Amino acid sequence: MVKIALDCMGGDFAPGPIVKGAELAVKENIAHVVLLGDEKAIKTHLGTSKDIEILHTNTTVEMHESSSTALRKKKDSSMNKAFELVKAGNADAVVTAGNSGAAMAFAIFTLGRIYSVDRPAIATLHPTVNEGTSVLIDSGGNVDCKPMHLIQFAIMGDAFAKSVIGIKKPRVGLLSNGEEETKGNELTRETNSILKYMDINYIGYVEGTDIYNGKVDVIVSDGFVGNVALKVAEGIADSLNAFFKIKINSSIKNRMGYMFLKDVFQELVRKTDYSEYGGAPLLGVDGICIICHGKSNEKAIKNAIVMAKKFAEKGLNQSIKETISGYQSINRLKEK
Amino acid sequence: MVKIALDCMGGDFAPGPIVKGAELAVKENIAHVVLLGDEKAIKTHLGTSKDIEILHTNTTVEMHESSSTALRKKKDSSMNKAFELVKAGNADAVVTAGNSGAAMAFAIFTLGRIYSVDRPAIATLHPTVNEGTSVLIDSGGNVDCKPMHLIQFAIMGDAFAKSVIGIKKPRVGLLSNGEEETKGNELTRETNSILKYMDINYIGYVEGTDIYNGKVDVIVSDGFVGNVALKVAEGIADSLNAFFKIKINSSIKNRMGYMFLKDVFQELVRKTDYSEYGGAPLLGVDGICIICHGKSNEKAIKNAIVMAKKFAEKGLNQSIKETISGYQSINRLKEK
């Protein structure tokens, strides 16, 4: 059975929902889970599942701590100890809802990068109108990218879509401010000119609208733009839920309407709820790591454990390694 | 009465909905409208309002023509003739749903820029949850910006929010991938360090979520990132409408629910419908120009005419000129 190293101290509401999420996963027999963090704090939240393994740690990476400070001072944290478990072969994947910058830093420091990858990147999954899933990479912290970084994101996103989502020939697009080749900025224009000649199903520039319309499977972007796109989507989902809540509670007529449409609203909430996806994989490090939203509830944590298990079983990293090593030209460029 | 120069040949469905929009505006006595374009084509769409002035032009800027080609070859187009009318003082504002890159190019070429502005920028208006309006500048084509450009966008956005929206002390934020000062990319970090010391109500970094949550009035961004943000929002609105349409028509129960909640859905459609706003002003050129969505329907065009009228009456450009000329340091920097 797959074994997950869970950082119980990371997240805005840790350790409560993190521990509860682990309990759910264990009860459903999804995976073995090792809980890392303050043993006493963890035990106050553990219900009946006394058989979950706890690995006590003394320090915690704070949510707004800089990753360089964390790297220097928090090697004994619950977060880094989780990565060490995977590195030593004592767990198959890390799940953390902690400081994502620090998680990225510890993942690189402790697990190391896959050969040929300069910058590991966060891939987020998005529902599309045609019931599919699109992947946005990088949704994380890689700002000021060079074309070579975006090309690596494209290769990793392609391998991810193939091996984990099961799309035979993923359509890979480059996020831009218009579809025409004359659009884009310096970074996207140079990246576009290289991606065109690569052995991936590259469909050219895509726009913000295309993340959800099912036109593209893998959307490549630098982490600054990707993060803005992600947060816009999150903001709209929040505003929308707030809007309906106010309206539905404002009159008896509206509450009646809600009763009829309850299933539809619940489906919408599910579709726009990040906790359904659980978390986002950090691609490019030599081990599996799922980074969860800081506000993760127990369902999100459980689903992140499901995701981590799936990635471990599907050999995600093997697929990325094989794909990226096939691009000899990238290695040659790197060796220059 | 305010006089609007309307480019009838620009837009995906031109001239039909453009001409119809002008008719609506004239019927409601909003403004005088001069219709520019192919007289014969315009007349086939003109209903009873035979008293609308038509200015015949022979050429049209195509939707996907590069702005440099348009500038070189289409000076006699309906689009540029509209700008010439404003330049000559024979109209107060241009409204066009045509190629936005070309509109920007002709606006700069024919109207000229306001002194101290390097790059005119498109400001889009967004509804916020607390019934307010936020301004995203630049939502257009200014890619690869330098800090000085973003600072000019901030000044113009601030003047716009004050003079047109009527906010006394607009909260100005810089769009970034996180709120902390350690976030951002090279461009935002340098811009942030300058904006902090300027005489505007600068609240620091804001995120994609903040465009809709009412936390900020003016969101400053380079045109690449701004455009991606805008299109993500548009994509979600489209997906959402498609989702509800399918669900509501899928069963009698759901249709019943819709009947009860009809007002709520109509309010949502109104809130997410770009045609309610009409268009987006191009700020920084020496004249008023409203750029409309290529897919504009007649309601969008009518509302763009309403917007153009309002800007002309409120002296938008006077306010931008006064504000930007107050920043002597910027002029000094430019003169170096």
Most confident of the ranges A177-181, A218-222, B211-215: A218-222
B244, closest residue in chain A (CA to CA): A264
Nearest C-alpha neighbor of B101 from the set B60, B67, B69, B78: B67
- Where residue A299 falls (left for φ over 0; alpha for ψ -120 to 50; beta otherwise) is alpha
| pLDDT attached to residue A273 | 76
In angstroms, the CA B256 to CA B266 distance is 15
Instruction: Convert the pLDDT of each residue in A246-273 to its tens digit.
Output: 999 999 999 999 999 999 988 888 877 7
In angstroms, the CA A8 to CA A82 distance is 10
> Where in chain B are the domains?
1-117+284-314, 118-275
In A129-168, which positions are buried (b, 16+ CB within 10 angstroms) versus exposed (e)? beeeebbbbbbbbbbebebbbbbbbbbbbbbbbbbbbebe
Tokens of A258: 């809600």
Mean pLDDT of chain A: 91
Contact indicator for B22, B6 with CB cutoff of 8 Å: yes
Yes or no, beta carbons of B208 and A178 under 8 Å apart: no
| pLDDT attached to residue A270 | 81
Residue B148's CB: how many other CB atoms inside 10 A? 16
Decide if pLDDT at A13 tops 60: yes
Yes or no, beta carbons of A229 and B233 under 8 Å apart: no
What residue ranges of chain B have pLDDT lower than 50?
A: 335-336
Yes or no, beta carbons of B235 and A182 under 8 Å apart: no
Q: Cite the DSSP H helix spans in chain A.
A: 16-27, 39-45, 67-73, 78-87, 100-106, 147-160, 186-195, 223-248, 252-272, 274-277, 298-314, 316-326, 328-335
Residue A231 is nearest to which of B208, B230, B238, comparing CB atoms?
A: B208
Decide if pLDDT at A32 tops 90: yes
End-to-end CA distance of chain B: 43
| Three-point CA angle A171, A173, A179, nearest 5° | 125
Q: Please name the residue that has the structure tokens 């997950």.
A: A4
Instruction: Convert the pLDDT of each residue in B160-210 to its tens digit.
Output: 999 888 999 999 999 999 888 889 999 999 999 999 999 899 999 999 999
Question: Would you say domain B118-275 falls under CATH 3.40.718.10?
Answer: yes
| pLDDT attached to residue A334 | 52
In angstroms, the CA A176 to CA A197 distance is 19
Yes or no, beta carbons of A258 and B258 under 8 Å apart: no
Yes or no, beta carbons of B240 and A239 under 8 Å apart: no
Yes or no, beta carbons of B236 and A233 under 8 Å apart: yes
Residue B228 is nearest to which of A225, A236, A259, comparing CB atoms?
A: A225
Question: Would you say domain A123-275 falls under CATH 3.40.50.10440?
Answer: no
In angstroms, the CA B275 to CA B94 distance is 17
Contacts of B176 in chain A (CB under 8 A): 224, 228
Tell me: ipTM over 0.85.
yes
Decide if pLDDT at A336 tops 70: no
How far away is chain B from the Cα of A319, in angstroms, using its nearest Cα? Answer: 30
**Percentage with pLDDT > 70 across chain A:** 96
Yes or no, beta carbons of B232 and A144 under 8 Å apart: no
**Pick among A126, A143, A215 to test the B interface (most B CBs inside 10 A):** A143
Yes or no, beta carbons of A257 and B253 under 8 Å apart: no
| pLDDT attached to residue B325 | 79
Yes or no, beta carbons of A256 and B260 under 8 Å apart: yes
In angstroms, the CA B227 to CA B175 distance is 12
- B1-117+284-314 with B118-275: one CATH topology? yes
Contacts of B129 in chain A (CB under 8 A): 239, 242-243
The CATH architecture of the domain made up of A1-117+284-314 is 3-Layer(aba) Sandwich (3.40)
Contacts of A221 in chain B (CB under 8 A): 228
Yes or no, beta carbons of A184 and B242 under 8 Å apart: no
Estimate to the nearest angstrom the gap between the alpha carbon of A206 and the chain centroid: 21
How far away is chain A from the Cα of B24, in angstroms, using its nearest Cα? Answer: 30
Residue B254 is nearest to which of A213, A243, A260, comparing CB atoms?
A: A260
Contacts of B177 in chain A (CB under 8 A): 141, 143, 223-224, 227-228, 231
Per-residue HEC secondary structure of B157-186 comes to: HHHHHHHHHCCCCCCEEEECCCCCCCCCCH
Q: Cite the DSSP H helix spans in chain B.
A: 16-27, 39-45, 67-73, 78-87, 100-106, 147-160, 186-195, 223-248, 252-271, 274-277, 298-314, 316-326, 328-335
End-to-end CA distance of chain A: 43
Q: Cite the DSSP H helix spans in B88-123.
A: 100-106
Residues 6+ apart with CB under 8 A from B68: B105
Instruction: Convert the pLDDT of each residue in A180-201 to its tens digit.
Output: 888 999 999 999 999 999 989 9
Q: Give backbone dihedrals phi and psi of A12, rounded to 5 degrees, phi first.
A: -60, -30
How far away is chain B from the Cα of A48, in angstroms, using its nearest Cα? Answer: 39
A206, closest residue in chain B (CA to CA): B228
The pTM for the full model equals 0.91
Tokens of B96: 């066009």
A257, closest residue in chain B (CA to CA): B257
How far away is chain B from the Cα of A245, in angstroms, using its nearest Cα? Answer: 11
In B73-106, which positions are buried (b, 16+ CB within 10 angstroms) versus exposed (e)? ebbebbbbbbbbbbbeeebbbbbbbbbbbbbbbb
Range A32-57 average pLDDT = 89
Nearest C-alpha neighbor of B55 from the set B101, B103, B9, B113: B9
